[in-house]
Structure 1
Amino acid sequence: MPARPLLDVRRIYLEPAAAELPRGRQILARWPDAERVEVDSHWRIPELHGDETNVRRWVRIKTEALVLGVKKSLTARPNGRSADFIAPSTANGCAMACAYCYVPRRKGYSNPVTVFCNIEQITGYLARHVARQGVKPEPNQCDPVSWVYDLGENGDCSVDADISDNVADLISLFRGLPSAKGSFATKYVNRRLLDLDPQGRTRIRFSLMPAEIARLLDIRTSPVAERLAALDDFVAAGYEVHVNLSPVVVTANWLADWAELLDQLDAATSPATKAQLAAEVIFLTHNEDLHRVNLGWHPRAEEVLWRPAMQETKRSEGGQVNVRYRSGDKGRYVSELLALIEARTPWLRVRYAF
């Protein structure tokens, strides 16, 4: 059977104000035959955002439903790890269905894409925020020169770029901001992005993990081999390209699997790509509620994600119960992987690892 398309939009839930904006009209024109359902708020759509009732049709919802809303609160939150600031979202939710993803916890686990149609307000806010920062006073792990703004905290911008021009507008914005860069992580190779002329002002971070475990956990994403094959092309198109080695999932053969992936990364990249590539290394954090939901649609994933004998509990700021590898063991795992990176890809700068 052929793979189901990532998006086959048949029903669009929309806040009336979003449908009146130019971006809303653009999206509605793209799917003229989709059923339109007016809603008071993109946050409160029970038939989309329930957990247990939707678990068996989770992927269908992600494929067929789209939500149009208006972003009410515009703030750029300080970060300091991957980026200096988290930009206000131009979308949230995702058409992909990675088994470990933290994003669905915010809005119910089916969580299809919501596009915020007041893009002019969002880009205007960002331009003013960048102007207020002035020149970056000193280098940090985010970037030695530019302020870095994470653009895709609650989704995947490469997927969003197939829905509307929001991502193109963000790339255009940062192209004209010499003191700042946009940045987003992705598991989806969207070659339409190659035509957007970022001129080095957008950093795209391709997430990588060993192919075998990615086939189990990275549901509906681009294959890891396809992501590796895209790295040189995105550098040639003017993007700053980094990699996210994440999430690192510890299994019986995890170090051998990562050694193979690092060898593949070395073989896939040109000297020009290697010269500017950097990595973030992020070990798995899982969530108790997501674990329960996954048991209803993808229990095999939980065999490697939910390992109580290896994990300890950490309650999040929002009160949710998360699990991560036990602190003493995790420190050893991080050291082992960093040593492997140094041995297999000594040219790869690790920005941070945790």
Structure 2
Amino acid sequence: MLHEKTIDQLLTIHEIYHEPNIREFARGREILAKYPDAKLIEVPAHNKIPELFGFEGAVEDWLWNKKNVLILGSKHSLSARPNTRSSHWVAPSQSNGCTMSCSYCYVPRRKGYANPITIFVNIEKIMGYLERHAARQGKKLIPDLTDPEYWVYEIGENGDCSADAAICDNVKDLVQQFRSIPNAKLTFATKFVNRQMLDYDPQRKTRIRFSLMPHQMSKLVDVRTTPISDRIAVMNDFREAGYEVNVSFAPVIYYEGWLDDWRRLFDEMNDVLDDETKKKLVTEIIFLTHNEQLHDVNMNWHPKAEEVLWRPDIQQVKYSQSGQRNVRYKNNTKRELVNELVNLCTEMIPYCGIRYAF
């Protein structure tokens, strides 16, 4: 099966860094039992591991750590941050970091650049918080672009839930919990096909957003992810299994011939997706934002990708709230690019609603 082969390629856990009290939690004990041969390294805190985090220069260990290192900790500060686009709130993380290595990813900048997966084992505490938070919101009375009926909680902002689900049942627990929360649903974007999730029975209360971009560009920048055609091929199955299936065109990267490649992608969607999947399909369109520090790191391990990601001739500086120097396409250029892609969507995949485009 594709799932089993891909999991083996992505994750071979040799080392587990863990906080001292990890065995006090059932999820912690389950994960340790799953990887009995892994070397255990006790650390005072999941986010303070000098040999893993903040070592931009150690790019030779980058992919090894992504594949072979797992971190176990507990989530102490719980809050749901308001959001305004693909969800109403960003839920407290059940994980952080990712085994995949997309060269444009913003998450590594927050927690040391290699940033392997951290699983938070106090999942019951996270679930309890979410249930109480949703109850405080009451019934959603006004439809909006995020959802016509439910309050939507993003659970995958800091990683990829499909990959996390290959390690433990945190994601499964959340999906099944939200079946019984009357006024809310979950959402997350993914670049990984995990067929085990077809058995979760989400009952339309989980929105999975498959991230898509043209094939050749994905092969260049989506390092260690499931191929685009495999993501498209499984969308009907996930819809039949009870998920609300959306797509995410992100990040959109400009290069010579970009629009022709998007046209080929849309042709494939038209051929593969069935009528029921098409009828409920919605997308978000997010153009590339890159980062100067990440560019410097990438030049040491994946310089070819930087030829399309780092384009000072057509990009402008945008400082983040944390003061980091980001770049995005110049305003006039971006306006034209957004219009071109939106027009192509309207022409070729008119059944696909556009939640937002920027």
TM-score by length of 2: 0.97
Deviation readout 1:58-103 (Å, 9 max, x if unpaired): 0100111000001011000100111000000000000000000011
Q: 2: distance between equivalents of 1:267 and 1:17?
A: 51
Q: 2: distance between equivalents of 1:52 and 1:335?
A: 37
- 1:43 equivalent to 2:47? Answer yes
In the TM superposition, residue 16 of structure 1 has moved relative to its aligned partner by 1.3
C-alpha contact (below 8 Å) 1:161/1:168 kept by paired residues: yes
- Counterpart residue number, 1:190: 194
| Partner residue of 1:270 out of 265, 269, 274 | 274
Q: 2: distance between equivalents of 1:44 and 1:346?
A: 48
C-alpha contact (below 8 Å) 1:96/1:219 kept by paired residues: yes
Deviation readout 1:98-142 (Å, 9 max, x if unpaired): 000011110011000000000000000000000000011201111
SS in 1 for 2:225: coil
C-alpha contact (below 8 Å) 1:74/1:122 kept by paired residues: yes
In the TM superposition, residue 306 of structure 1 has moved relative to its aligned partner by 0.2
SS in 1 for 2:251: strand
Q: 1: distance between equivalents of 2:23 and 2:9?
A: 25
| Partner residue of 1:102 out of 77, 90, 106 | 106
C-alpha contact (below 8 Å) 2:56/2:112 kept by paired residues: no
Unaligned stretches of 5+ in structure 2?
none
Q: Which amino acid aligns with 1:331?
A: R
In the TM superposition, residue 168 of structure 1 has moved relative to its aligned partner by 0.5
In the TM superposition, residue 282 of structure 1 has moved relative to its aligned partner by 0.4
Deviation readout 1:222-279 (Å, 9 max, x if unpaired): 0000000010000000000000011100001001011111111111110000111100
Q: 2: distance between equivalents of 1:205 and 1:194?
A: 14
Q: 2: distance between equivalents of 1:53 and 1:254?
A: 32
Q: 2: distance between equivalents of 1:167 and 1:262?
A: 30
In the TM superposition, residue 177 of structure 1 has moved relative to its aligned partner by 1.0
- Counterpart residue number, 2:262: 258
- 1:70 equivalent to 2:74? Answer yes
| Partner residue of 1:227 out of 231, 235, 242 | 231
- 1:213 equivalent to 2:186? Answer no
Q: 1: distance between equivalents of 2:119 and 2:56?
A: 24
Unaligned stretches of 5+ in structure 1?
none
TM-score by length of 1: 0.98
Instruction: Tell me the C-alpha RMSD between the 2 structures.
Output: 1.0
C-alpha contact (below 8 Å) 1:8/1:63 kept by paired residues: yes
Q: 2: distance between equivalents of 1:128 and 1:139?
A: 22
Q: 2: distance between equivalents of 1:51 and 1:353?
A: 35
- 1:8 equivalent to 2:12? Answer yes
- 1:61 equivalent to 2:83? Answer no
- 1:337 equivalent to 2:351? Answer no
Q: Which amino acid aligns with 1:120?
A: E
In the TM superposition, residue 54 of structure 1 has moved relative to its aligned partner by 2.3
- Counterpart residue number, 2:240: 236
Identity percentage of aligned residues: 54
Aligned pair count reads 353
- Counterpart residue number, 1:166: 170
- Counterpart residue number, 1:292: 296
Matches within 5 A, 1:133-152: 133-152=137-156
- Counterpart residue number, 2:125: 121
In the TM superposition, residue 35 of structure 1 has moved relative to its aligned partner by 0.5
SS in 2 for 1:48: coil
C-alpha contact (below 8 Å) 1:286/1:306 kept by paired residues: yes
Q: 2: distance between equivalents of 1:346 and 1:311?
A: 30
